[in-house]
Amino acid sequence: MSFESRVRLIDAAGQVIAGDNPLVATITNNPARELGRVTPPETWVVTQLSAAGAAQTIVRAAVAGQRHYIQGFEVTVAGAATTASIAITLEFGAAVVWRTRTLVNAAVGARIDAMFPYPLAAPVDQPVTLRVTAGSAGVITEANLTGMTLAA
């Protein structure tokens, strides 16, 4: 697949310095190097629903000789509003690297998300875990964890 986009260079006063230069890019699924360029790594997403009133844990297992990079996570309240806050932790191995919680009385549809502008790098050969504590009775949580895994 390829696409073409036009690029205009504009100075601070809004004047066009160079106009409508074509910028052509080709997207492939080949992870090998092509003409000195490297295809971006493939990302993964793990998604899960909790049972009503239950905690949940998402684990991205360790891969020998590789490192997980976490791009972000999201937890949404569903089923019923919660009368207690829900704790969310992101762990690399046994180390907690990110901790947050929902508000008390979070309504259905309330969402906590963290998208990291620079992916968080887990240690080599370590699993990544997203833990979500139980909400009150009837509360279901929807959790998503996204990242990529690369050779160390």
Supply the DSSP string of 88-131, one letter for each residue: EEEEETTEEEEEEEPPTTPPTT-EEEEEEEEEEEPPTT--EEEE
Number of domains forming the structure of the chain: 2
Q: Domain limits at 119?
A: 43-151
Residues 20, 8 contacting (CB under 8 angstroms): yes
65 and 135 housed in the same domain? yes
72 and 144 housed in the same domain? yes
Q: How confident is the model at residue 24 (pLDDT cuts 50, 70, 90)?
A: very low
The amino acid present at 66, given as its one-letter code, is Q
Residues 38, 52 contacting (CB under 8 angstroms): no
34 and 50 housed in the same domain? no
58 and 119 housed in the same domain? yes
**CA dist list (Å): 146 to 25, 88, 97, 136, 149:** 25, 15, 15, 26, 10
5 and 80 housed in the same domain? no
pLDDT in tens, 40-92: 788 999 999 999 999 999 999 999 999 999 999 999 999 888 888 899 999 99
Tell me how many degrees the CA angle 110-112-116 measures, rounded to the nearest 5.
150
57 and 103 housed in the same domain? yes
